[in-house]
Each structure stands twice: as structure tokens, then as C-alpha cells.
Structure 1
Amino acid sequence: MAEIGFADLVEVYRNTRFTGAGEGILTIADEHVAGTIRTIEADEDLYDLTQISLVDPADPVVGTSVSINVAAPSHRLGVLAQDFDRLFLAPGAAFEEPLAYYVIDAGFARGDASPPGDLVRYRVLLGVIAVLRNAATYVGELQRELVFIGNEKIEVPIAFTTSDLPAFLIEQAERLRRIFDDPLHADEKTGLLADAVIEIAAGQRRQARFTHLITNLDRICDEVERGYRLFVSSFSYSKIRKEIETAKLEYIGKIHKTIVDIQGQLLGIPVATIVVASQLKRSEHCDAVFWTNSAVLLGAWIFVVLLGIAIKNQWHTLAVIGTEIDGQRERLSSDHAAVRDDFIDVFDDLEHRIGWHRKALIVVSVAALVGAILATMAFLLLTARGSAVCLISG
């Protein structure tokens, strides 16, 4: 069976004037469109996959128009939807944007520039659904519903249309995202969100619960923020100390891992030095000794380059860890200013460890580079003058 991708079908859809009832008038705009139609017409399996056929079988000619039958293709290829409301009903679209689709009314395919406002709000809504999904007790993907169990069980079917996506959704979704972007006390905030959903959705008709939650997203944010402030205000000193100590151990592990990850390469430095020192021999001509010395020197420099790349990666890792530690320090200062001075030395110690590891990486880099330079000098001293012509003549 010939290969036809959804991108090929999109070109056909773009050049089709849909007349309803699964029919349309296709303008053969170029040879690519013509070739796609010929390929589908010649293969029954492709017709089953694409659901495109000519009303009157004929050879498509560029510049002409033909009547075609068009139906939704196999979901293995993509989704063909009349409008965004029908796109939202596609399998899996309640939780993720379909990988490939074309919306007839909007003339829009995924990947096109300047997405319509309805699509922008839909993508924002998917972020809200992801947060709600994390707070749900159970997720029914096939049933397109979220189940929350607290004082009572609430089922929330995910059903919506473009008219259910208000303009303020973007602002409120950003507010909800900011609440959960901070990983501190994530479990507590997730529990507060579940409680807020149950409270707000209770008493609503089952099918109207999701749209009611979206309409009252600001109220949900208020409930979570109020509950979280109450939780933080009652947070005990011992819990703060336990969290700080746990975070310290995690960061120490991450910092030490930057050296452990390249430990093999570090152990290779003395080994490589011994190998170079023992393998280099005096060379007078373009003989096997010269080429052996050249290979040994090249290997030494390759080792230095690879070690340098590994050290650079670990340097960036230390920078990321340092940024995380600064964020933790700022959160301690803002959320628990009263006990800040009791734990500030923990962060000072972590920053000292990062500084020490950076110095160690610098020392290792210099040692490897000096070793490679000394190997190069030894190579030059052991090689007779004029032997460089060997590299040119081969």
C-alpha cells in the first residue's frame, strides 16, 4: 500500500469546497493534489483509510475541478472536523489536543500560523484540565470524565463547546497555573483543589458541572488560595525544619552527582597520562613510530574534548541547582520570615558546596588541558624536524 499522510489529505481539504452530505468540489491546484487523488483511487485500502473518492472516476488534471466524496479518515491519520465544537468531541481531545486535524469551517490545520481565538482558549483549557486531572481521585479517559471523592462523590463529565470558553478563561487559567507552579506543599494544594471542585460542582446537573467549574474558575482559585494561606499559617516549626533538612539532603545528592556522573572520565586522566608517556617514542622518519605517536596524541586530545563537554554539562547542572536553591531561600524568606535566620545557614552551606564543586571542575579541566599540552610538547620533541610533511604526503 502506498504511503499517504495526513498532510497530503490537508492539501486536498484546503482545495475542496464542501457542499455538505459528505460531498465537495475539489480544485486540482497542483500535481501534488492530483498525485494524492490518483494514489487513493488506485488502492482500495487507501480509500478505507482516507475516505476520499471521486464521484466520477477520471484522471485528475491540474487546473480542473472534480466532484468528490469526503468523510472522516481513520483516526490513525488524523481528525477531519466541520468546526471546533466537533473537534473537541474527537477521541482523546478532552485531555490532549489531537496530533493532526483539519477544521473545515476555519480552514485550519494543526501547525498553521495564527491559530483562531477558539483554539487558543481550548489550549488554555487543556492546561486547566491537566491541573484538575491531577487532583481527581479517578480519571475516566474513555468516558471523558473526572471523579472526585471527598465528603461525597462527584462525577464531572468533560463536555464543552466554543461558547463555553469565555475570554476571561486565559487570565483565570494563568492564575491557577501560578498556584500550582510552586512545588512546595503540592499535595496539600491538590487536596484543597479537589475540595473546592466538590463544593462548587455539588448541586449542579451532571452534564453542566464542567462548564460551571470553568465559569467559576476564579472562585476555585480563591478557595485554594484561602485554604493554602490557612494551612501555611498553622504550619509548625518542626515541619519546616523537616522539609528544609529533606531538601538539603536532596540538593547535596544532586550536587555530589555532578562529580559522580563524570567519575569514569576523571579516573581516565591519570590512565591517559600513563598511556601517552609510555607510548610516545622517538621518530626520525615517516615510519610506523611516527604514525603511532600521532594516533596517541590524537587520542589524548579527543579525550580532553569529550571531558570538556562533560564538565560543561555538569557546570550547567550546578547552575540550575543554584537557581533552585535561591528559589527555596526566597520562599523561606517570604513564607516563614520569622524563622528564616534559623535555616539560612543550610542554604549558605549548599552554595559553598556548589562553589567547591565548581572549583573542582576547573581544576580537572586545567589538569586535562595541561596533560594534553605536555603530550603535544613531548610529541614535538620526539619527532624529527620536517616530519610534519608526513601528514601532508600521507
Structure 2
Amino acid sequence: MTTAFNHAITVYRALEEAALDGGYVKGKLKVTEALAATLAKLAELDWLLEPSLKKVVTGTEIEVEVKVGVGQAFFFAMTWADLLAAHNFKYVAPEVYYVAEDDFLSTEKKETVNSRRYVSVLSLLKVLREVADYCDESLSGLKFVYLNKTKLELSINYKAADLRDVPKVKELEDDIFDASYKHKEQRKVIIKLILDELLKDTVEEARFPKLLSDFLLFKQRYKDSYDLYIAEFSFEKVLEEVKAHKLDYTIKLNKVFSDIQNQLLAIPAALILIGSRLTPKGFVEWQNSLTMLGCVIFVALMDLLVRNQYNTLAAILDEINKQTEVLISKHAALLPKFKDPYIELEKRHAHQRWLIRIVDGLVAMMFLCCVAIYYWYSTNNNHWLKILVAG
């Protein structure tokens, strides 16, 4: 039957002075080979009333009358207003339909502004029906009842002029019907509460057109309310997770410096020992040279240790940054509440890095002192530096 309806629409599109009479369209047609074949198929399906196939001759102009259907399965409408006024098409679309004012056929991929709006409204009605506590379906129309602290009645009464774009209604439909989405019941409660807030002060007959015109506001309130629900739902769990991470990373950062505290005592000890071992015996004196060689080895080992602690600090900071990225990706709405602990960790990292730099500076200072003493003892009394110091 769908094929017959599509053929009928092909004929209608070729008619001149076309008119709709009940479930039939009539008008003048100049026959082409393609149209002759289409009329023959309609005759086989008993959808061609006039003329008989004998009069269908290529190149001639004939009066044609074909069935188009105005029932629940197949519906031909001259305007969107006609479509919405028939049967229950305000609430459920026909299986196949054609609207002449937009030249829109539902089985074709080409959409129009009105067809897009009509499909979106039907998707919204599907959501509203699922959320409603009660549906009143009668000859007078369709009404949804929502029970919050008060009862809200929403009559689905709209005209073609009320059709509006309902952006992202598919996302709302997925929220309610997609099995993989969580918190179904809470989502429904949120929708009911927002409907009540948005429409309670509007007279019942105007509520659904108002919902269509204010859908962007409705959608934003729904998103904000659901984000708030998720935030409250996961706040305590995320808070505990953040606290645990902060404690763990604080211990790791503190350990970077505590690991080398024992070695720090060796710096002044090394300076005292090396200074006491160096004696004024000349530049190539083997005891001074061996002592200085030991100093160089000690400084090199300390430098390796300090560099290792720098790398450890960098690795810990990288872990902190990755943890922050995870928090942003999973709980973006909660980030303002939990960013302070991570800021404190970054400050702790900067503090520990300064401590390591101080150690690095002390090692360098000790080495320079030893070099100065070694150089001083390795020169004779006539050296310019000793003469300068002696005044």
C-alpha cells in the first residue's frame, strides 16, 4: 500500500489545477511514458478512478482522478493545519503522509522546517507521556497529569502555527528511554518539577504552546537540575577520594626531602673534614690532591642524588596533574569545590622543589669553599692573591 500511495503522490505532483475531494485528487495531466507507467500501476492496485487505461496515451492531456487516502495509515493533507486537525495526528503521526503546501512526503529523506518541527513535537510528546503520572485520552483530546506538591494538567492542544523548533529533544528522549542512561526515575522527577515551575501560572489551554516556545529554557533548567543532582549524589564519594589523594601525594612530596636529610649532614662534615685535611704544601702535593679528588667525588654523588630528587618531584607533579584531569573529565560540575586541595599540592610541590634547590646550592657552596682552600694552600706567599689579602 505504501507503494500505491507513493505512486499517487507522483501523479499529484504532475497535475495541473489539482484539487482534493475526500480521499481523492483530480486534475489535468500531460501524459509522459513515466507517468503512463505509474498510472498503469495505480490501475492494477485499484487506485486509479479516471480515466480508463485505454485513454492513457503518451503526449495527450487527460483528466485524472486517483485515490490518495485520508486514513490512519495513509494521509494526504493540503496543509499542516489539515494534518493536525485530522484523527489523532497531533499526538501520533500517520504511517505515511504527504503535505502539499510543503511538498513533503514522509517516506522521502528531504525534510522541511515544518516537518522537522512536527517530528520534534511528537518526540517531546513521547517523553511527556512517559513522565506523566496519568494520561487522559478521550474524544476531546489528550491530557497529561503530573503530581508534584500540586497537580499540573497539561492538555496537548496546539495548531500548525504553534509548531516550533524543539532543539536537542532527541537528547531528552535518550535520557528517558535509553537503557544505558542512569537515574531514570530521578530524571522523570526533575522533568515534572520543571514543568510545574514553568507552566503552573499559565492557563491550561496555553500550557503546551508555551512549553514549545520556551523549550530552550525548559531544557536548560532540566540540565542544570540534573547536574546539581549528580553533584549532590557523588559529592561525599568524590570528597573522600580527593582527600585520600591529597594525603597520599603530600606524603610522597615530603618523602622527597626526608629521603636525603641524612645525606645533608654530610655537607658541613665534608667541608670541615676536607678543610682540615688540606695543608699549605704546594700545588702538586699528593695529600691535598687526593683530598680534593675525594671532594670532587662527594660533590658528584650529591649532585646525582639531588638530580634524582628533582626527577621524583617532576613525576609526582605529573601524577597530580593527571589526577586533576580525571576529576575534570568525570566530575566537571564539582571541580570548583575540589580544586583547592590540588592547588595546595602544587604549592607543596613548589616548596619541596625550593628545598632541593637549597641543598643543591649548599653542595655548590661547599665545593667552591674547598676549591678556594685548595687553591690558597697550593700557592706560595708571593702569589698576587695572598699579597692582595695581606694588604
When the two structures are superposed, what TM-score results if normalisation uses the length of structure 1? 0.50
Q: TM-score, normalised by structure 2?
A: 0.50
CA radius of gyration, larger in:
2
